[in-house]
Chains A and B, each alone.
Chain A
Amino acid sequence: MSTTDQTVRHGKETADQVDGVPTGEDRVAIPGMSQEGEVLQEGRNQAGEPEIKHTKHGDISGVPDSSRAGRFTSYKVGEFPKLTSKLEDWRFTPIKRLKGLDEAELTGAAPAVEVVSGEGQVTVTTVGRDDARIGRAGIPEDRVSANAWSAFTEATVISVPANVEADQPLLVDINGSSMDPAAQHIVIETGANSSALVVLRHRGRAVLSQNVEFQVGEGSKLTVVSIQEWDDTSVHASSQQAKIQRDGSLKHVLISLGGDLVRVTPSTRFADQGGNVEMYGLTFVDEGQHLESRLFVDHSQPRCRSRVTYKSALQGENAHGVWVGDVLIRAEAEGTDTYELNRNLILNDGPRMDSVPNLEIETGLIAGAGHASTTGQLDDEHLYYLMSRGIPEEDARRLVVRGFLFEIIQQIGVESIEEQLRQSVEEELARHEN
């Protein structure tokens, strides 16, 4: 496999600064000049401080934000520029295949929310858009998300009361039956010191823009599994925003298998220190499919931890996978510990994978920060090792491919769901006899 370590926008320690001018090891005699010459690093002023540009309304010149911190947010769809492939966060997405999610009024019927099991300790209610629990996790970060925000009429709120440790996972099916562009809003909230596991399983036919909020209460533990197993023609854009209170913990598992275009954008923000997030992803991209995951972890609080592990397998002509992992460690987020990893397995000729890790570090006082991305075919050394033990090549390939993919499924922790997903992955693999 080839390893590509991409864009690292590097910050510097703020400890050794007086009035914003570096005085420690980074000190320079002339502002903007170092021993290597003029500092031309993008997004930094001459004193080496981060310079944050905001993408403003109407500015569609395609100049990328200098920092993820400067990403424009708004509840109003009209305040976002119309989508073009020149916009940094839409550059990989086939906009025409959004089937109007960016422009149309989203008046179609939202997919039906059906609780399969686990209700009781955890409650599921339908509320109007003015409910106080809506809108606390974050503001829409793109036009499609804002369009859904403008259009949704009612929301599903899943609540875990304080101090309740739910002993059953809550399984929720979200069944689409119409190709009229629709909006949907879901809130999952955990009270202080509670714990719960929620599975959202998307199926059927839909053209859907969705906002999902996770409000992770103080000291609580929430596991959310979002499974996209849509029919082949469905289009789904899902903005999943989390806000984690002090010492709260979120495990987010994203499984995207079916749909013509699925674009999930999970963002995690910390409201206080001590938070922990683990984000896992598995996508299986087939012929003609566009499956995109763009995540963001915003370390704005001290002593929080994040771990990101996303994997994808791709097969067939015009199978297009996209993974963008933005991790920002702000100056005030001292003691941050973060690592993000993306691994992609190309199973035959024809697919395209774009993998872009972005790690921005604005303080040197961190516990750890790292990222890695690999895209390639099956590792010959893995096959060789297994075959040298007598295992025929075909069986060795099976073992390695399934091992690669099932590692993420293992994270779910609900055997019936895991078994069903393993079966789905087997069916995907069988299409190309892997």
Chain B
Amino acid sequence: MSVLEIKDLHASVILDDETTKPILKGVNLTINSGQVHAIMGPNGSGKSTLASTIAGHPKFKVDSGSVTLDGQNVLEMSVDERARAGLFLAMQYPVEIPGVTTSNFLRSAKTAIDGEAPSLRTWTKDMKASMEKLKIDPAMIQRNVNEGFSGGEKKRHEILQLELLRPKIALLDETDSGLDVDALKVVSEGVNRALTEQNTGIMLITHYTRILRYIKPQFVHVFADGRIVDEGGPELADRLEEEGYDRYMSVSK
């Protein structure tokens, strides 16, 4: 049983050496193992910043507040330490890394997370099984990381990592964007496997309700102007689908 606790988090984006702009304005959120929390909100409300700040992206600076994972101070950790502590961020725009094969990358990541190299036999077996479930072309692992991948392939590759690295808490940053309905189903099944088989806690960031047909959240949080402005159960998502975000846009102004 793990718990990610975010308390009164304020963070800014670093624009250049001298200028920063506040984005997060007091976020409070607690995610336990096995829970799904949907973070929904209009574009530009700070949802992705929340995920990137927790993961430790150098472009963002924490101004105040705390983030802990099972009581450990996440904000004091480097990016790689956060991942090794059990956090995982499925990125909205995974970058291409020329010259580094996916196979080499995945093995390096698994070795780093586990603290020892996986046994070759089980590793190959696990990888093949996960790739098959995610309908990933086996030839992909010989290609360079994300290089020439389609939008859908990049997102499946993110979920493949989620399954193989077995984090305690996973932040999914608009994993549904750019996916057709078939790919959306495949990706959602992967997330649901992590949820049921590994008891991973999930923060599901999305703009649209469509992914919530396949991944069922227990909690829905509405994000506007850098903070959570409304919370509820799955019924809140239904309401958002009908009414949109207009109501919250005016509140936050």
- Cβ of B144 under 8 Å from chain A: yes
Chain B residue nearest in CB terms to A399: B100
Q: How far is the CA of A407 from the CA of B143 in the complex (A)?
A: 12
Number of residues from A at the complex interface, CB < 8 A = 24
Interface of A toward B, CB cutoff 8 Å:
379-382, 384-393, 395-396, 399-400, 402-407
Chain B residue nearest in CB terms to A403: B99
* Contact of A388 (CB < 8 Å), options: B79, B98, B144: B79
Interface CB pairs A-B, < 8 A, 14: A379-B95, A381-B95, A384-B58, A385-B145, A386-B105, A386-B109, A387-B79, A388-B83, A388-B89, A389-B83, A390-B109, A390-B112, A393-B80, A403-B100
CB within 8 Å of A: which B86-103 residues: 88-89, 91, 94-95, 97-100
* Contact of A391 (CB < 8 Å), options: B94, B98, B99, B112: B112
- Cβ of B57 under 8 Å from chain A: yes
Q: How far is the CA of A200 from the CA of B165 in the complex (A)?
A: 45
Cβ B78 vs Cβ A387 within 8 A: yes
Cβ A389 vs Cβ B95 within 8 A: no
CB neighbours of A403 from chain B (8 A): 97-100, 144
CB neighbours of B198 from chain A (8 A): none
Cβ B112 vs Cβ A389 within 8 A: yes
Chain A residue nearest in CB terms to B109: A389
CB neighbours of A396 from chain B (8 A): 80
Cβ A382 vs Cβ B99 within 8 A: no
Known: A381-B95, A395-B108. A389 touches B161 (CB 8 A): yes
* Contact of B99 (CB < 8 Å), options: A384, A386, A387, A407: A407
Known: A393-B78, A395-B108, A399-B104. A386 touches B57 (CB 8 A): no
Cβ A392 vs Cβ B80 within 8 A: yes
Chain B residue nearest in CB terms to A381: B95
Q: How far is the CA of A405 from the CA of B88 in the complex (A)?
A: 29
CB neighbours of A400 from chain B (8 A): 97, 99-100
CB neighbours of B89 from chain A (8 A): 388
A385-B94, A403-B99 given; 4 more Cβ-contact pairs under 8 Å: A386-B109, A387-B78, A388-B56, A390-B112
CB neighbours of B240 from chain A (8 A): none
Cβ B83 vs Cβ A387 within 8 A: yes
- Cβ of B183 under 8 Å from chain A: no
* Contact of B97 (CB < 8 Å), options: A382, A390, A392: A382
Chain B 157-173, CB-CB to A under 8 Å as 1, else 0, gives 00001000100000000
Q: How far is the CA of A28 from the CA of B91 in the complex (A)?
A: 52
Cβ A392 vs Cβ B58 within 8 A: no
Cβ B99 vs Cβ A390 within 8 A: no
CB distance from A406 to the nearest CB of B (A): 6
